[in-house]
Chains A and B, each alone.
Chain A
Amino acid sequence: MIASAQTPALRRFLGLLPALAVIGLFMLVPVAIMALYSFLEANPFGGIVWRFSPEAYVQFLFERDLADNLVFQSGYLIIILRSLGLAVLATILCLIVGFPIAYFIARQPARHRNIWIYLITIPFWTNQLVRTFAWIIILGRNGTIELPFRWLGILGADDTLGLMYTDFAIVIGLIYAFIPIMVLPIYASLEKLDFRLVEASADLYSSTFETFRRVIIPLAKPGIVAGSILVFIPCLGAFIQPDLLGGGKKLMLGSLVQFQFATARNWPFGAAVAMILLAFVVLCLLWYAQAARRAGAQSGALAHA
């Protein structure tokens, strides 16, 4: 035992053990419990009944009518599609807004960059719930945006712009919440970019646009991909923004999970929704790993050419 403890592999394992224990205990075990619950029967008074049942997954697409026949019902499917749609939209908009910010910071003199990064991370110091509430004040009835319109008296018949409780409000909330985690990885890859390459590209007859498309974007791609995934995953599972800004009417997957556990008391169904959410996240990560491996294999093959 003492001799084998000297082998580097075992020593590495022992060193990692605390981290592995934490991840196992606080992540894998809860996920396993959720997976288990999703295949059990719901107790109408909350909690679960220890009996196997695929009912929670069936419930996703079908409803039982009075004669106990399965009838297709699209409500939850629409929630999935809306979640995917809003998450994709929020991610794309985060990218469009975040890339110029990251580029701007990367072009600042080195001593100024940390100040900008610091400013970007300041919102993280405040509770997300509080920050999302702030948007109600901005977007809501008599809110900051409506005020000038109200003074000018050009509001519609219902006396509001109707910004709140829409998909638009949800997307705004998502962008606001997650833009820093888009900016940071893009900044990290742009900061490593040698801006002499931009000059080289201009020297070789590239317009600014061509340089952007053929030099800057390809070299910032790892940051763009990482930032997009980091934004997409929490957007998909978000429940604060749909609840507060969507008014709880426009449900997303995250709010559905929260609703099933906290309000509807259908734990197996909540767990099943969480599993579906997790499946999307895993798909995302697999795609990312695949892309990374392909990039690695390409340069590896070239190395042996």
Chain B
Amino acid sequence: MAKTDYKSILSCLWYYIRPYRAKTFISIISAFISSLLTLFFPLLTGSAVDAIISGEGRLFMRILMMMAISVLLSSFFQYLMNLANNSLSFSVVRDIRRDAFAHLEKLPLSYIDSHSHGDAVSRITSDAEQVSDGLLMGFTQLFTGVITIAGTLVFMFAVNWVVALVVVFVTPLSIFSASFIAKRTFSLFYKQSEARGKQTSFINEMISGASTVSAYGKEEENQKRFDKINHEWAGLSLLSVFYSSLTNPVTRFVNSIVYTGVALSGGLAALSGLMTIGGLTTILSYASQYTKPFNEITGVMTEFQNAAASASRIFAFMDAEEEKDESSLPALSLEKGGVCFDDVSFSYVPERPLIKHLSLAIEPGMKVAIVGPTGAGKTTIINLLMRFYDPVSGRILIDGQDIASVKRSSVRSSFGMVLQETWLRTGTVRENITMGYPGADDEAVWKAVKLCHLDSFIASLPQGLDEMISDDNDGISQGQKQLLSIARVMLSDPGMLILDEATSSIDTRTEMHIQDAFMHLMEGRTSFIVAHRLQTIKNADLILVIDHGDVIEKGTHKSLMSQDSFYRNLYMSQFAKR
């Protein structure tokens, strides 16, 4: 979506407002009634004063009763309108957030890996908030404003249609000046919103990496960088706040000029006897009453620019291409777990091909070890298997089914995956372990915990399994995080396994202790293991040695060791310096 394409932003917004048509209707009707009553009230006051002067006691009391009733009704409908507007704007923003989040869940990994996380966070939180504020303000003031203007017009035409026509004729002047300002503020608001996103990214990155920041004593330099970003933002914020706040004084000024014009011409007309003084007074009072709602509406117009600018950033995020819709595809039916790479090529960036024409057939139940220097493309193979990324060409088949022609989620859930880069969610230890099997009872959880030798760690936590942990939290070692991830997979009982440096941070003794559990887990399951610790690899049925994205050697530990292989060199290097 083009960022300044105002119409499409509005139509996107309308899409979200539409389900709440009933509330919109209530809001408009309430605004209508309460505005009319509000306009009606001064008339009653006038008649009441007249009744006082003429001494008509009963009429006076009747008018007073009507005033009371109109006040009650008007207040009631005002309240009703406020409630409808609240509910409307909060619901709309909730829905926008939900859709944005649902969209996030469908974005391909390639998008998530290459875009700033902080910026996406800013769109779903701050920008959505701006939309909510703008809508609320807009609904509350726009309807009442419009209705007040319409009502005043009617009254004016009733009193003096000539003056009414004059006023109608000069109205566009204030609208024009307001929209002149509004157009300019939109791009400022957009830039402000962008600057806010940039700032959020920086904040997110630095607070997430706070320990590294302090390890390198970068606080001051970061402060400078932050201040620079902050200053840029503040400049834009000042401009957009200032320009948008100009609408009110400027329209007010335009209106006061119009008012003066009416007064001058009316005065001169009265002087030449074309108009009475009383007539001029009436005209002037209506002219001033008429201009007031304009001041408010034009104010709303600029406020609304802010909301529109933020909305366009959210909608632009939602426009990013999703993973292909696959609701019509069948689920993968996992039988034995035979995996086949058929002429697979892949690259993250087109100009640097990483995997070139890889073909491989892996028998069901095989333990496949993938070894090779860092950066050789081992993790890429995992990315392809899990369909985090799709091959540029070629196919990957599981039990004869092309994984691109079945549901992504069914491919993913057929694997249990433990990565070197562990991730814990904010929640209890229990929630973290049962992520893959939410219904697990305590017995099952403890069994997995014991298999992973986590029991003493969990016992050392004040709340045990119910202790809150999170990825940002320190005090839990990388090794413990990996053990938790392993327990997670053990509990989920997957059909196949992917272990990408799954035990790299776990000490060898613990690793040995959980080895049995691991072996048991891998029994009969096709498993892909990336590891430098060659203990696990030695028992592999097939070892793939990868360098620069190519499989340069394959075989078993024995067969590879018996020749002068790359593998043998790699393997021997760990003992070279002893």
Q: Are A and B associated in one complex? A: no
| B contact set with A: CB distance below 8 Å | none
